[in-house]
Amino acid sequence: MEFFEKLKFDSNGLIPAIIQDHKTGEVLMLGYMNEEALRKTLQEGKVHFWSRSRRRLWLKGETSGHYQLVKEIYFDCDGDALLIKVDQIGGACHEGYRSCFFRRVTEDGGFEIVGEKVFDPDKVYTA
């Protein structure tokens, strides 16, 4: 794929991927992809990531069913970041929110919850 030549993966073979709702523009999450995750994303039309903590490839939604269906993929001018516009099924955040960015920093240095939960993680992620 021609555009792969334009991408700059870091020293760990990863590139950050910003995930955005294709209809509303809401930023849903940030994840990291290696080349295999990006290829699987392109082939299957569902977003895959490289888990830095688990050190393995994973399909977003593989446990929860909250898949991210790819609509468009962009890369920035430096080739070191991706923007993936998706149709988000359910919530993107493992804490139950639609977006991982559900906390807003307040003027006093604290924070407030500005998002609403769309699912109960205790019911979705059972051991």
Domain range list for the chain: 2-94
What is the CB neighbour count within 10 angstroms for residue 55? 7
Mean pLDDT computed over 3-28: 97
Token pair of 36 as six digits? 């295999």
99 vs 90: CA distance, rounded Å: 10
Mean pLDDT, residues 9-32:
98
Tell me which DSSP letter residue 65 carries. S
Q: Indicate if the pLDDT at residue 127 is higher than 70.
A: no
pTM over 0.85: yes
Rounded mean pLDDT, 25-47? 98
Residue 125 pLDDT: 86
Mean of the per-residue pLDDT values for the chain? 96
Structure confidence at residue 59 (pLDDT): 97
Kindly report the CATH class assigned to 2-94: alpha beta
* 46-86 pLDDT tens trace: 999 999 999 999 999 999 999 999 999 999 999 999 999 99
pLDDT digits (tens, 9 = 90+) for 77-90: 999 999 999 999 99
